C-alpha cells in the first residue's frame, strides 16, 4: 500500500485544517489566505525544495506538484501562492546554490520560512517576462533598482522579492538579470486594487517598487538561460498541479452529487452517471498530460547536459508552451461539465455543490501568461524549427 511522504502528509493537514475552512472567506473578501500560509510555514513546506545539506527537505519537483494539487482541491489561491513561491526557490537552488550569498540565504529561508514573490511584469511590457524597461544601477558594491510593476502577486505579504531587470542602463531590454531584494531594502507603493473574478486570494495589485542592496544579490547567470531551463517549465508544471487540483475539486463535487442521486433511487443508474464517466476521463487526460511532461522534465534536468541540452531547445519550449495552453483550455471545460451535472445547485452559491469559485479560479489559468501571447510565441518558434 502506497503511503504519503511526510511532506504530502503535512500538505494534507494544511489543506484540510487551514485552507479549506477559510477558502470561501478568502475568495469573498479577496484577502490573503494568512491561515493556510502560516500553516505552510509552520510545517516548513516553504523550504521543501531546499537541499538537505542546507537544512531543507530536499523535495523533488514531483512532490511539489502534488502538494499544489492537494492545496488546490481546497483553495486554489493558496495553491497558486505556494506554486509561485516554489518557482523562486527552485530558480535559486538551480542557478545560485553555490554562490556564497545565496547559499546563506537558503539557510535563512529554512530557518525563517521566508515567502518570496516574483516581480517580472512591468509597465510598458506588461507580462512579457523576457523584456524589462527598468535597469540595475550599480555604484561600487551596491545597486539601486526601481520597477513599475503591473502586478506583484502577494507583494504586500511577501518577505522578499525576486526581480527581473536589465543588467545595466545601456543594456538591451532582453539582456536581463535576476535580483533578490530583501524586505528591509525595498518599499512598495500600491498603485491599484485587486478586485478580480477569480484567484482573489493571490492579492496581486500593481506596485511601484524601489529597492537597493549588495551586488552579491544580483545572480550571475543570464536570466534568458534561467528562463528557458527552469523558470518557464517549472512554472507550467507547478501551475499544472494547481489546475489538476482545481479540476479534481469540481469533479469530486459532481461525483458526490451523482452518488446522492443513486442512493435516492436504489437499483437505478442516474442519467448523470454517463456524463460523470466522461468528466472523470477528462480529468484523467489532464493529469496524464501534466505527469508526462513532469517526468520528462525531471529526467532532462538531471542529465549532465541540462544546461545546454534539450531544455534549451526550440522543440522543448514548444512542448511546454503547448502543455500550458492545452491544460488551461481543458480546465474550465471540466468545471463547466461538473456544473452541468450538478445543475442548479452548482449554480447557487449557498450550498456544498457550488462551482462558482472553482469556475472563476479556472478561468484565470488562461490569463496567467496569456494563451494568445504563448501561441504567438509558438508561431514564431515554428518558423525556425526544423522538421523532425
DSSP codes, 321-375: HHHHHHHHHHHHHHHHHHHHHHTHHHHSSSSTT--HHHHHHHHHTTTTTTHHHHH
Same structural domain for residues 191 and 340?
no
State how many domains the chain has. 3
94: domain CATH number is: 1.10.540.10
Question: At residue 208, what are phi and psi to the nearest 5 degrees?
Answer: -100, 115
Burial class of residue 344, CB neighbours in 10 A (0-12, 13-18, 19+):
exposed
Q: Among 93, 94, 48, which residue's Cα sits nearest to residue 70?
A: 48
pLDDT of residue 126: 75
DSSP-derived 3-state class of residue 310 = helix
* The C-alpha cell that represents 73 in the structure block: 482541491
Same structural domain for residues 379 and 266?
yes
**Spans of the chain below 70 pLDDT:** 1-3, 304-308, 387-388
60 assigned to some structural domain: yes
Same structural domain for residues 159 and 230?
no
Q: Among 45, 11, 65, which residue's Cα sits nearest to residue 289?
A: 65
Same structural domain for residues 106 and 150?
no
pLDDT of residue 130: 87
CA distance 163 to 147: 9
Same structural domain for residues 103 and 207?
no
- The gap between the terminal CA atoms of the chain, to the nearest Å, is 42
Question: At residue 241, what are phi and psi to the nearest 5 degrees?
Answer: -65, -40
Q: What sections of the chain are H helices per DSSP?
A: 6-14, 23-29, 34-42, 61-72, 76-96, 100-112, 223-226, 232-264, 272-301, 314-342, 344-347, 356-364, 371-384
pLDDT of residue 239: 97
Q: What is the pLDDT of residues 323-376, one digit of tens each?
A: 999 999 999 999 999 999 999 999 999 899 999 999 999 999 998 888 888 888
Whole-structure pTM value: 0.95
Instruction: Report in angstroms the alpha-carbon separations of 271 from 32, 80, 274, 297, 353.
Output: 40, 35, 6, 41, 18
81 assigned to some structural domain: yes
Same structural domain for residues 47 and 172?
no
Boundary-marking domain end, from 217, 248, 283? 217
Same structural domain for residues 86 and 148?
no
Instruction: Report in angstroms the alpha-carbon separations of 268 from 56, 139, 151, 247.
Output: 53, 77, 52, 27
1 assigned to some structural domain: no
128 assigned to some structural domain: yes
Q: CA torsion 193→198→203→206, rounded to 10°?
A: -40
What range defines the domain where residue 80 resides?
6-113
Same structural domain for residues 280 and 292?
yes
Contacting residues for 47 by C-beta, under 8 A, at least 6 apart: 55, 56, 57, 89, 106, 109, 110, 113
pLDDT of residue 388: 57
* The C-alpha cell that represents 65 in the structure block: 506538484
Amino acid at each position: 500500500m502506497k503511503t504519503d511522504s511526510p511532506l504530502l502528509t503535512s500538505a494534507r493537514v494544511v489543506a484540510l485544517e487551514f485552507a479549506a475552512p477559510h477558502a470561501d472567506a478568502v475568495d469573498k473578501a479577496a484577502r490573503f489566505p494568512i491561515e493556510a500560509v502560516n500553516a505552510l510555514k509552520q510545517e516548513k513546506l516553504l523550504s521543501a525544495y531546499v537541499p538537505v545539506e542546507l537544512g531543507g527537505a530536499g523535495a523533488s519537483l514531483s512532490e511539489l506538484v502534488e502538494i499544489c494539487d492537494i492545496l488546490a482541491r481546497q483553495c486554489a489561491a493558496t495553491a497558486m501562492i505556494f506554486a509561485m513561491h516554489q518557482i523562486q526557490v527552485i530558480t535559486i537552488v538551480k542557478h545560485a546554490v553555490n554562490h556564497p550569498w545565496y547559499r546563506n540565504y537558503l539557510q535563512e529561508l529554512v530557518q525563517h520560512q521566508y515567502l518570496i514573490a516574483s516581480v517580472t511584469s512591468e509597465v510598458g511590457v506588461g507580462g512579457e517576462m523576457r523584456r524589462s524597461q527598468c535597469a540595475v544601477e550599480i555604484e561600487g558594491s551596491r545597486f539601486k533598482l526601481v520597477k513599475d510593476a503591473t502586478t506583484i502577486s502577494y507583494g504586500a505579504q511577501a518577505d522578499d522579492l525576486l526581480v527581473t531587470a536589465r543588467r545595466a542602463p545601456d543594456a538591451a531590454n532582453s539582456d536581463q538579470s535576476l535580483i533578490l531584494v530583501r524586505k528591509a531594502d525595498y518599499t512598495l507603493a500600491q498603485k491599484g486594487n485587486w478586485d478580480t473574478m477569480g484567484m482573489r486570494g493571490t492579492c496581486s495589485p500593481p506596485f511601484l517598487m524601489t529597492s537597493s542592496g549588495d551586488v552579491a544579490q544580483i545572480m550571475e547567470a543570464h536570466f534568458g538561460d534561467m528562463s528557458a531551463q527552469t523558470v518557464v517549465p517549472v512554472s507550467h508544471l507547478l501551475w499544472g498541479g494547481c489546475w489538476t487540483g482545481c479540476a479534481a475539486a469540481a469533479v469530486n463535487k459532481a461525483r458526490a452529487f451523482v452518488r446522492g442521486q443513486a442512493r435516492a433511487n436504489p437499483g437505478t443508474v442516474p442519467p448523470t452517471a454517463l456524463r460523470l464517466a466522461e468528466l472523470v476521463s477528462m480529468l484523467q487526460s489532464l493529469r496524464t498530460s501534466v505527469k508526462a511532461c513532469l517526468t520528462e522534465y525531471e529526467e532532462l534536468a538531471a542529465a549532465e547536459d541540462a544546461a545546454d541540452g534539450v531544455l534549451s531547445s526550440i522543440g522543448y519550449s514548444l512542448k511546454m508552451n503547448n502543455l500550458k495552453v492545452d491544460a488551461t483550455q481543458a480546465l474550465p471545460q471540466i468545471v463547466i461539465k461538473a456544473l452541468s451535472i450538478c445543475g442548479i445547485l452548482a449554480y447557487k452559491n449557498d450550498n456544498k455543490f457550488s462551482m462558482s469559485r472553482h469556475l472563476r479560479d479556472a478561468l484565470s489559468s488562461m490569463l496567467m501568461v496569456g494563451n494568445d501571447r504563448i501561441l504567438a510565441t509558438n508561431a514564431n518558434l515554428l518558423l525556425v524549427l526544423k522538421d523532425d
